[in-house]
Structure 1
């Protein structure tokens, strides 16, 4: 399993209705060592996203106010693919015009629950052994914690604030 294969697998499942099941199905034919490597690559990508700057724009878009909400947001970001992640981290304002923003009850809902667990659970089902748990949530995000004052967030993310803030 290499980085290119990791992203090809993500690309193959990201538009499915049940992405967790689609990912499990995509990983199932692989050797267990490849499933373990996929899990490691997934965790590496989560840790790169685990930054206060990213949490700030997630907060503006969808009100992420807990580690688990932010984790589900990061799972959703990973599903958008390598190029989109690079774009969004470099220019979060691009999300204001992103055509694939999911909504639920007329509110932005860019979340994917438990996608980070799929490879580890599959590995355990196939081998009877657990992979090392790569707990991202218990780590302090990188960078400096953002201030959640609307005035500051509006100044930092004017397009995101305009599009998403009032819809929360």
Structure 2
């Protein structure tokens, strides 16, 4: 398993209604070593995203205010694929024009619950053994914590703020 194969798998599941089931189905064709490698690559992507700068735009966009909400937001970001992810990270304000943001009751809901667990759970089902748990949530995000003052967030993410900011 290499990073290109990882992103190919992500691209095949991202448009499915149940992405967790689609990912599990896709990974179930792999041997246990490849499942473990996918899990490791997934964790590497999460750790790259686990940064206060990314949490800041998640906060503006959807009020993301807990580690678990942010984890689910990062899962959603990964699902967008490597090219879109790179574009978003280089300019988060692009998300204001991104057409594929899920909405629930007219509010943005860019979350994907438990996608980070799929490979590990499948590995356990296949082998009867657990993969090492790659904890991301209990680590402090990289960088400097953002200030959640509306004025500062509006300056940093003007388009996102204009489109998504709700009175927090």
Q: CA deviation at 1:105?
A: 1.1
**Native 8 Å contact 1:55 1:70 kept in 2:** yes
Q: Which runs of 4+ in 1 moved over 3 A?
A: none
Q: CA deviation at 1:45?
A: 0.2
Identify the residue that residue 89 of structure 1 maps to in structure 2.
Answer: 89
Identify the residue that residue 65 of structure 1 maps to in structure 2.
Answer: 65
- For the residue of structure 1 that corresponds to 2:137, the secondary structure is coil
Q: TM-score, normalised on structure 1?
A: 0.99
Q: Which runs of 5+ in 2 are unaligned?
A: none
**In 1: Cα distance, 2:167 partner to 2:116 partner:** 28
Identify the residue that residue 28 of structure 1 maps to in structure 2.
Answer: 28
**In 2: Cα distance, 1:92 partner to 1:157 partner:** 7
Query: How far does the alpha carbon of each residue in 1:24-82 deviate from its partner, in whole angstroms, 9 at most, with x for none?
Result: 00000100000000000000000000000000000000000000000000000000000
Count of aligned positions:
168
Answering whether residue 50 of structure 2 is matched by residue 53 of structure 1, we say no
Q: Which runs of 5+ in 1 are unaligned?
A: none
Answering whether residue 42 of structure 2 is matched by residue 42 of structure 1, we say yes
Root-mean-square deviation (CA, aligned residues, Å) is 0.9
**In 1: Cα distance, 2:6 partner to 2:158 partner:** 34
Q: TM-score, normalised on structure 2?
A: 0.99
Identify the residue that residue 133 of structure 1 maps to in structure 2.
Answer: 133
- For the residue of structure 2 that corresponds to 1:166, the secondary structure is coil
Identify the residue that residue 121 of structure 1 maps to in structure 2.
Answer: 121
Identify the residue that residue 4 of structure 1 maps to in structure 2.
Answer: 4
**Native 8 Å contact 1:107 1:167 kept in 2:** no
Q: After the TM superposition, which residues 150-161 of structure 1 pair with which residues of structure 2 at under 5 Å, given as runs?
A: 150-161=150-161
